[in-house]
A and B are shown apart, each in its own frame.
Chain A
Amino acid sequence: MSAPVRTAPPPSSPAPPVPGPARARRLVRWAAPAAGVVAVVALYAVFHGTAVLPHDDDAVLFHWLNDARDWVDANRNSSPIFLYVVNYIRLGVAELYTLVQGGLVALGWPGLIGLAAGLGWLAGGWRIALVAAAGLAGVGVLGFWEASVDTLALTLSAVALSLLIGIPLGIWAGRSARVRRIVTPVLDVMQIMPTFSYLSPILLVFLIGPASATIATMIYAMPPAIRITALAVQRVPGVTVEASESLGATGRQTLLKVRLPLALNTIMLGVNQTIAAALSMVPLVALIAAPGLGVDLIRALARVNVGAALVPGVAIVLIAIVLDRVTRSAARRREGGSRARAVRWGGLAVLTALGITLTQALAPEFPERWQVQVVRPINDVVDWIEAHWYVFTGFLNDTVAYGLLNPLQDVLTSAPWWLVTAAVLGFAWRVSGPAAGLVAAACLAGVAALHLWEHGMETLTIVLVASLITIAVGLALGVAAGRSRWFAAGLRPVLDAAQTMPSFSYLLPAVALFGNGRFTAIVASLIYAVPVVARLVEDGLRAVPATVIEAARSAGSTDRQVLWKVQLPMARNSLLLAANQGIVMTLAMVVIGALVGAGALGYDVVAGIAQQEDYGKGFAAGVALVLLGVMLDRITQGAHGRRSPHKKRNE
C-alpha cells in the first residue's frame, strides 16, 4: 500500500554541489527505501492474485459471534452478570437521563433559556449570558426546541457520567506514573476508534434506547476528561505541594485544598472538550434509538433532504457554541472580591427566576409564529445545483472512481496479504520507527484474522485517496493562510464553522451533488478533515521564527525557496501531525459514509446493527476498523511522539 506514497520524488537537491562522501551518504540513505519499493513492486508482479483473502460472509468467526450474541440474548434476564450488574447500570443510566430530561422539560423554554443565561452570567458576565440566551432561543426559532432538549439532556447526562468517572481516574493518573503508563495507550486507542465501532458491543450489552446511547456517548467523551485532568494535576508546581506537606497537611488535604483548586481551571477545559466530544456522538446514537436532533438528521439523510439535515445540524452547532462559551469562560479565573461574587450569583438567581416566572405565563411549547422555515429555500438551491451541475459532478465522480479508487483497490485486493503487511511494516518502520512498524503490521494481520481482509482493503483504498486529497487541499490552504494574514482572516470563520458542524451534516450536500457512492464519502471527509489539517499547517508555519526567515531572505532566497527549504522543513512536526490527524479523521468519516453507499467495513457495521444474521460480521468489522485506525495512526505518528489532548480532533 505504501508504494504510491513512497515513490514520490525525494526533495530534489539541485543547488549546492555536494562533496563526494556526503553524496554517497545521501545515496545510501535513499537506496534502502528505493530497494524496498522495487522489491515490493517485483513481488507484486510475481505473486499478485495469490494469497488473496476474498470476502466470505460465512466465516466461522462470524457464526461464533452470532452464537455469542444469541447466548447473551437468551440469558439477559437470568445470568447473574446481567441481573446484578449490567441491567442495573442500564436502569440507573435510564433513570438519570429521565431525571435530567424531565428537569429540563419542567423548566419550560423560558425557564431553560433563563437558566442558561444565568449560568452564562455567572461564568463570564453579560456577554456570555447573551450568547447563551441567543443560542438557545435560536434553536427554538429553527423549530427544533423539543428535539434539542432531548439532545441536551443526553449530552449533559453523558458528560456528567464521564466526569464522574474521568476526573478521579485523571487525578489518579496524574499522581501515579504507573497508572499513567497503563491509561495512556488505552486512551490513544479510544480516541482513534471510529465512533461506529462503539455501537455493536453497546447494543449487545445494553440493548437499544436512551440508556445505551448515554453510555456510548459517555465512553466516547471520557478520554479528554481523563487526559486533561491528569495533565492539570501533574502541572501543579511541586514547590506548592511540598510547602503544603511540610506544613503537616495530609495527602487528602493536599489533594483537596492545594492540587485540585490549582488544577481547576485546566480541568474546566477538560469539561469543555468532553462536551464537544459528547455532542459529536449525537447523530450516531440516533441509530440505536436515542431521541434528539440526531433522529432528524438520520431521517433527512434517508430522505436525501439537504435542507432538513442542515437545520438540525445548525441546531447542534448552536448548542455546542453555548456549552463551549459557558464552560470556556468558567475555566478562566475570575478576579474580584466578595462583592463581585455576589453580583455573579445574584445574576444567576435573577435570570433563572425571571425565566421560570415567564414559564408560568407563556405557552409550554416554543411559539410556532416565532419559528422560521428555511428548509425550502435551501432545497431550492440544492435542486438548482443538482439540475445544472450534473455533468460536472458526474465527471468528477467518475474521474476519481476510475482514475484513483478502482486501480488502487484492484492492487490492494489482488496483492498477497503478506506482501501488503510487509510493505506496511517497512514503510511504518522507516517513517515512525520499529515499534510503530510492528504494531501497524500486527494490526493489519489482525484484520486478516478477522476474515475481513477484502473489505478492509476497500476501506483502506477510500481512506488513502481521501487522505491524499485532504492533505493536499489542507496543505495548500494552510500554506496560503500561513503566508497571508488577509487570507487567514478570511479563512478562519469558514474553518470554524466547518469544524463545529456534526460530521453527519456533511454527508447530505455531498450526496445531493454526487449521488451515493464512495466519492460522496470522500467529499464529506474532505469538508470534515481539511479545516483541522489547514489549521495545523498554518500554526506550524507561523511557529517558524521570523529571524530564520529573515536570514534566509538576506541570503538571497526567493519566496518559493523560503517556503520549500526553510518553512516547510522546519514545520515538519506540525505537518506530520496534520497528516496524522487528517488520516484518522478521514477514516472516521469514510466509515460513516457507509450510510450513503460507500460500502466496505462501514457498511458491515451498519448492516450488523440492522440485520440479525449480520451481527457477527458487523461486530468483527467494528474491531477491524479500530485496528485500521491504530495502524494508520502508528504509521503517521512519525517524530512528533505522544499527542497532547489539545490536539484531539474535535467536531
Chain B
Amino acid sequence: MKKLRLIAGVLALGLAVTACGGAKVEDDSNAAPSAAGSAAASAAGTVKIAVNPWVGYEADAAVLAYLMEHELGNKVEKVTLAEEPSWQGMESGDVDVVIENWGHEDLKKKYIEEKKVAVEAGSTGNKGVIGWYVPEWMAQKYPDITDYKNLNKYADLFKTSESGGKGQLLDGDPSYVTNDEALVKNLKLDYKVVYAGSEAALIKAAKQATDQKKPLLMYFYEPQWLFNQVKLVKINLPAWEEGCDSDPKKVACDYPPYDLDKIVSKKFADTGGKAYDLVKNFQWTNDDQNAVADDMTNNGMSAEDAAKKWVEANTAKWQAWIAK
C-alpha cells in the first residue's frame, strides 16, 4: 500500500512539473541537446540536417553544412536517415532540414498540410530523373532493347542466381522512391526486382557490366557523377502524364521529371534565422552537385574537404545565398 501511494505521488509530481497538459512529441526538441535556435532568430543554434543515403544528397548537405559552420557560425548535426523517416524526424524534432526531396506528394500532404510540422523551402535547382538503364554496349548490340516492349524478348540475358528464373531488374536501397515492382507487374514484364541494397552496389554493378560486358538492367537516376564515367542508356517506358502514377499499385508509366526541392521543419522555418534563409536561397546545378559528389566518392576527399573546394571555387554563387 505504501508503495502504491509513493508511486502515485511520484506520478502526480511528474505531471505537475510538466504543467499537467500532457506531453506532445515535438516538446522534446527542447530537451534535446540543441534546440534549433529556439531563442532569438539571431542566435546561431544547432541545425539538424537529415542525410539520405545517396552521394548527391550528401554533396548538397556537405556544402550547406560547410557554409553554416564557417559563414554563419551554426553547429550542424547530420542525422543519417532514409527519406521517409526524415519526414517523421521533422515531427519528432530530430530533423530540421531535408535538402533534396524527390516528390513525395503523399508525405507533403500528411506533414505539410495536415500536421503542419513541415514547410517547403523551394527548389534546389537540380533536375531529377529516375529510370531503367542498360550499359551502352547492350544498346549497341541489341538496338531495340531500349523499348520496354522488347524487354521480355531479352529477359534470358538478365537472369541471375537471385532472380528466380526471370530477368533481373536491379534496384537500389529499399528506401528509394520506386514503382518498379508495380511497373513490372502492370507492364507484364518477365522480370523480378532484386534489391542491391545501396547506391554503391548499383554503381559497382554498372561498372562491372561495362568492364566485363555483363548484361545489366538497373534502376538509376540523375544527377549522378557516374554518368561522367560510364555510359548508360535509358529504357523508354510508357510516357509519363500528370496523374498516371497517382495510385502506386496501378502505375504503368515512366517516372515523372522531378524538380528536387527542400523541406524544412516548421520550427526551423520560424526560428532558424540566417540558417533558414541560407537553406531557402540554396540553388545550384546538377554539374555543381556532381563535382562535389565526384570529389567525395572518387578523389578520396571527406565531405568537408569536397565542400570546401567547391565553396572556394564558387564564391559568387554561395554569397548570393547568404542574407545580408
Chain A residues near B175: list those with CB within 8 A: 606-607, 609-611
Whether A58 and B81, one on each chain, are in contact in the complex, defined by CB atoms closer than 8 angstroms, is no
Give B248 Cβ to nearest chain A Cβ, in Å: 6
Question: A595 in the interface, Cβ–Cβ < 8 Å?
Answer: yes
Whether A83 and B23, one on each chain, are in contact in the complex, defined by CB atoms closer than 8 angstroms, is yes
Whether B23 and A88, one on each chain, are in contact in the complex, defined by CB atoms closer than 8 angstroms, is yes
Whether A208 and B88, one on each chain, are in contact in the complex, defined by CB atoms closer than 8 angstroms, is yes
Question: A631 in the interface, Cβ–Cβ < 8 Å?
Answer: no
Chain B residues near A511: list those with CB within 8 A: 201
Question: B204 in the interface, Cβ–Cβ < 8 Å?
Answer: yes
What 0/1 pattern do residues 171 to 185 of B give for CB contact below 8 A with A? 001110000010000
Whether B31 and A94, one on each chain, are in contact in the complex, defined by CB atoms closer than 8 angstroms, is yes
CA distance A83 to B88 in the complex (A): 18
Chain B residues near A211: list those with CB within 8 A: 28
Given contacts A77-B24, A607-B174, contact A88 B85 (CB under 8 A): no
Whether A295 and B80, one on each chain, are in contact in the complex, defined by CB atoms closer than 8 angstroms, is yes
Whether A298 and B80, one on each chain, are in contact in the complex, defined by CB atoms closer than 8 angstroms, is yes
Identify the closest chain A residue to B80 (Cβ). Answer: A295
Question: A634 in the interface, Cβ–Cβ < 8 Å?
Answer: no
Question: A364 in the interface, Cβ–Cβ < 8 Å?
Answer: no
CA distance A610 to B176 in the complex (A): 8
B:3-31 near A, CB below 8 Å: 14-15, 18, 21-25, 27-28, 31
Question: B197 in the interface, Cβ–Cβ < 8 Å?
Answer: yes
Chain A residues near B18: list those with CB within 8 A: 88, 91
CA distance A293 to B198 in the complex (A): 19
CA distance A470 to B13 in the complex (A): 55
Whether A599 and B82, one on each chain, are in contact in the complex, defined by CB atoms closer than 8 angstroms, is no
Whether B31 and A597, one on each chain, are in contact in the complex, defined by CB atoms closer than 8 angstroms, is no
What 0/1 pattern do residues 281 to 295 of A give for CB contact below 8 A with B? 000001111010001
Whether A208 and B92, one on each chain, are in contact in the complex, defined by CB atoms closer than 8 angstroms, is yes
Whether B14 and A88, one on each chain, are in contact in the complex, defined by CB atoms closer than 8 angstroms, is yes
Tally B residues with Cβ within 8 Å of A.
Answer: 54
> What interface size band does chain A fall in?
35 or more
Chain B residues near A612: list those with CB within 8 A: 84, 106-107
Question: A36 in the interface, Cβ–Cβ < 8 Å?
Answer: no
What 0/1 pattern do residues 597 to 630 of A give for CB contact below 8 A with B? 1010001001101111100000000000000000
Identify the closest chain A residue to B165 (Cβ). Answer: A406
Given contacts A209-B94, A288-B85, contact A83 B200 (CB under 8 A): no
Question: A483 in the interface, Cβ–Cβ < 8 Å?
Answer: no
Give A590 Cβ to nearest chain B Cβ, in Å: 14
Give B306 Cβ to nearest chain A Cβ, in Å: 14
Identify the closest chain A residue to B193 (Cβ). Answer: A599
Whether A597 and B196, one on each chain, are in contact in the complex, defined by CB atoms closer than 8 angstroms, is yes
Give the residue of A88, A98, A286, A596 whose beta carbon is less than 8 angstroms from that of B32: A98
Question: A516 in the interface, Cβ–Cβ < 8 Å?
Answer: yes
Chain A residues near B15: list those with CB within 8 A: 84
Whether B28 and A597, one on each chain, are in contact in the complex, defined by CB atoms closer than 8 angstroms, is no
Give the residue of A57, A304, A610 whose beta carbon is less than 8 angstroms from that of B85: A610
Whether B24 and A599, one on each chain, are in contact in the complex, defined by CB atoms closer than 8 angstroms, is no
Give the residue of A57, A397, A406, A596 whose beta carbon is less than 8 angstroms from that of B197: A596
Whether A597 and B80, one on each chain, are in contact in the complex, defined by CB atoms closer than 8 angstroms, is no
Q: List 28 A-B contacts (CB under 8 A).
A: A57-B249, A58-B249, A77-B25, A83-B22, A83-B23, A84-B23, A87-B25, A98-B33, A207-B88, A208-B89, A208-B94, A209-B89, A289-B85, A289-B89, A301-B198, A303-B200, A406-B161, A511-B201, A515-B204, A516-B196, A518-B162, A519-B161, A597-B196, A609-B82, A609-B175, A610-B83, A611-B84, A612-B107
> Which 9 pairs show the lowest CB-CB distances between chains A and B?
A83-B22, A610-B175, A401-B161, A87-B23, A207-B92, A304-B200, A302-B198, A610-B82, A209-B94
Interface, chain A (partner B; CB < 8 A): 57-58, 73, 76-77, 80, 82-84, 87-88, 90-91, 94-95, 98, 101-102, 203, 207-209, 211, 286-289, 291, 295, 298-299, 301-305, 376, 397-398, 401-402, 405-406, 511, 515-519, 594-597, 599, 603, 606-607, 609-613
